[in-house]
Each structure stands twice: as C-alpha cells, then as structure tokens.
Amino acid sequence: DTGVSQDPRHKITKRGQNVTFRCDPISEHNRLYWYRQTLGQGPEFLTYFQNEAQLEKSRLLSDRFSAERPKGSFSTLEIQRTEQGDSAMYLCASSFASGGAIYGYTFGSGTRLTVV
Amino acid sequence: ELKVEQNPLFLSMQEGKNYTIYCNYSTTSDRLYWYRQDPGKSLESLFVLLSNGAVKQEGRLMASLDTKARLSTLHITAAVHDLSATYFCAVDLTVGSQGNLIFGKGTKLSVKP
C-alpha cells in the first residue's frame, strides 16, 4: 500500500460545470476525511466517513457539494455548478480509529481545482 | 469557536540560527500535530504530540506540548535551507465518534544563506 491516492492531481473546469474527485485511502484505515485548502491558508475540514457512514459535515459543505464512500473503500467528492470560489486544493486523508482513539492521519497529494 | 493561532505567520531566518514557532489553541485537546508543506505539495507529518509535556525531536526540529497552557512549540535549531517550507500545527478535536483536525494558518519559513 503506497498511501492515500487522489485523482486527478489537477482539474481545470469552467464555471457552472460539475466535477468529481476520487480518493483511495490506505486499505487498513476505516476513516476518510476531506479538507479544502485555499491559497495561504491552512486546510479546512469538510466532511469525514467512518467506513461507509458520513458522520460529520462542515458548514463549508454547501448543497452543491456531495461526498460518498460506497462500501467503505474509496470516496468521491462531487461539486455541482462550480463557482470561482471553489478553486482550491482538495485534500483527502485517512486514519484508523478504534475505541475512541485515532492513530494518526495520512494525507494524499491533493487535487488542485481551478474554476475559470 | 475553536481557534488555532500560529505565530509568526512569516519567518525569514539565516542559516545556522535558532527560532521557535508558537501554536496556541482555544479548546481542550491533548493531541496536536505538526505538518510540513512544500509549495504545491501535500502535508507531510512531522510530529504527533499525545500528552501534556510531550517532547519529540527529529533532526533540527523539536516539538513540545503544554496542554494546560494550550500551547505547542516547534523549535528550529541551526536552520538550513532545506527547512524552507510552510509549517502547520493542527489540533485534534477527536471526542467519541467525532474527529477532525483544526489547522492554524501556517508559518511560512524561509531560510537564507
């Protein structure tokens, strides 16, 4: 297992189009997180899954955003009707959680979205 | 609202000098992470601090955690150019079934010869 994989690495889209990103976590990890990072800022939490259940969503996650993790493996993040303000790096992370403890977070390389 | 504040946000150092980056946070947490990020790249985990008084060192970097003061520090000893990057601290809000990291804005470090 080579870590957390994200695809694509870069995406340029026109305003109003829909985009979908994929994240493949480390196979032993049961938690998967999505973060968004804009230029000059720290990553901001969007949502996370434990196995296939989406347990928490940030208020940053507007109705245009949807995330899924079918079968508790890979996850997709879809943005509908993209806006220029959606331009950012979208980071995926995974971790293993057991008994209320989380054992580290591993981040993927990110998908850089540019909305023109 | 939880706040994680890093200080300074920009740091220009000369090679060979020492400096400390500070990370203050506003809620109870006994788990704090330090990450490094190079331009256009993802986050590289540097340290995980899991309890009050924890101190970890790797090469020229040393991190510590004081949960009572809600303060973590990242100390740089005898800086070299290769340490130029942005450094983030992140507080773990894991409580029961919740869990996410709240990041500071980052400290952009530039080490000059």
DSSP code per residue over chain B: ---EEEE-SEEEEETT--EEEEEEESS--S-EEEEEE-TT--EEEEEEE-STT-EEEETTEEEEEETTTTEEEEEE-S--GGG-EEEEEEEE---TT---EEE---EEEEEE-
How far does B40 lie from chain A, in Å, by closest CA?
9
At B106, which amino acid appears?
A: G
pLDDT at A84 over 80: yes
User: Between the CA of residue A95 and those of A13, A27, A103, B44, B87, what are the distances in Å?
Assistant: 30, 10, 6, 14, 21
Per-residue pLDDT, B47? 94
Q: Do A33 and B100 touch (CB under 8 A)?
A: yes
At B13, which amino acid appears?
A: M
- Which residue in B35, B41, B94 is closest to A102 by CB distance? B94
- Which residue in B97, B101, B104 is closest to A105 by CB distance? B101
Using one digit for the tens of pLDDT, what is the confidence trace for B41-66?
A: 889 999 999 888 899 999 999 999 99
| Interface membership of B97 toward A (CB under 8 Å) | yes
Q: Is B78:A11 a contact under the CB 8 Å cutoff? A: no
Q: Do B45 and A109 touch (CB under 8 A)?
A: no
Pairwise pLDDT comparison (B29 vs B78), residue with the higher score: B78
A46 neighbourhood in chain B, CB within 8 Å: none
Using one digit for the tens of pLDDT, what is the confidence trace for A13-37?
A: 999 999 999 999 999 898 999 999 9
How is residue B36 written in tokens? 């490094």
